[in-house]
A and B are shown apart, each in its own frame.
Chain A
Amino acid sequence: MTENARQRPEFRNINAISDLPNYRLPAAGWVSILHRVSGALMFLLMPFIIWMFDTSITSEISFASFSATFNAGIGFVPGWFMKLVALAIIWAYLHHFIAGIRHLYMDTFHAVTKEFGKSSAVATLVLSLGLTVILAAKLFGLY
């Protein structure tokens, strides 16, 4: 018995390369880590977001160069790549927004059952990814 207890594996230090790919997260786990990833992404891309805000509202001329950035590109960066970056921000905002609403709802109504955790997590992922696909189609001119 003591022998068994001694041999039980311990996972105190998670190795990002060898352990993380083997993790099988439930839907709520995916929502949670993606909430963090999307927040960090928006934090890192904040200057780009403010640049978009700045150039799009400052003047008619800057608005035109804002549009041109996503069509003709800027410098050596092609327009489609800028659209991809904008799409990454769109996804991050949608996921963070919807997962945040889920958080607020759970806090306000004490909605902490296992079933609600799972169903709301699946709804969050479906909504955020679905809306991202719809807006991606719009962004790349499919409709």
Chain B
Amino acid sequence: MPMIELKNLTKRFDSFIAVDSISFEVKEGEIFGFLGPNGAGKTTTISMLATLLTPTAGTAKINGFDVIKNKDGIRKSIGIVFQDPSLDEELTAYENLAFHAVMYDMSRETRDQRISELLSLVDLEKRKNDLVKTFSGGMKRRLEIARGLMHHPKVLFLDEPTIGLDPQTRSHIWKYVKKLNKEEKITIILTTHYMDEAEKLADRIAIIDHGKIIAIDTSENLKDMLGGDVVSFKTPDSEKISNEFAKIKWISKLKTHNGAVDINVSKAEEKLPLLLKALNKTNAHIKSISVHEPTLEDVFLHLTGKTIREEEATAKDAMRLSRRMWRR
């Protein structure tokens, strides 16, 4: 039985469809990445799974419990770290965790033991009795992760766990996530708009855009889908170039976007001279050429025709139109 099971889950705000009939399954012990631009529907999906929002249509089950019919069953089975901070800064680290323990019906003895266990897991045992408002952003995140784990949940949701953190703290958080997946054998659902984060952490990745899932697979398989390395040409004459490249049979994929032409070929280093020869014929002006192994960014580009950043710009416009989205 899968740990998490979504069937045609949909959420509509007035006329805006935030999540559009998505279905997938997550196995126990898996780290499942949910990758997409801001505003793609990741947080809305998480909110439905965490029983904070009621789905407009479709069903979802976690640990065998239905998100609509058995909210308390779900709530006991999941831990969640929200995108926005949700600690009480006027309380100490210990008090925040103890509050959580009482809310989840933990006994006093197991509570204190669990608190010291988790504070040492996230290296905060020395700050146990300090007010949270004296913590740095990274420390607060770690405390939130510890809190999400307090009641031994089956599934941990991490909604953009490293947003707004510096690179060093991010890699620390990644280390903790890996560690607790291993040590606590917990299923983790991770949403992120950082490619590297999804790539580093997730066993499988679902790419979501405009409320729809456009691909689910391991990051290896997603990248293999592109068929070889990526050669990217920055140019004002993208049309001339793409017309010329369209004639070449060994170019597996061709994509024009925003003053650039991206193609996929195997063994790009050997093909480069041939490509240049072809380009000479066109008299096209070229600003730069780069060759790299495919990344998830390229996968996203291939699937949507846009980079994640371009997509975020339009998603923000959509959110401005739909003011409800700003209400948390």
Q: Do A and B bind each other?
A: no
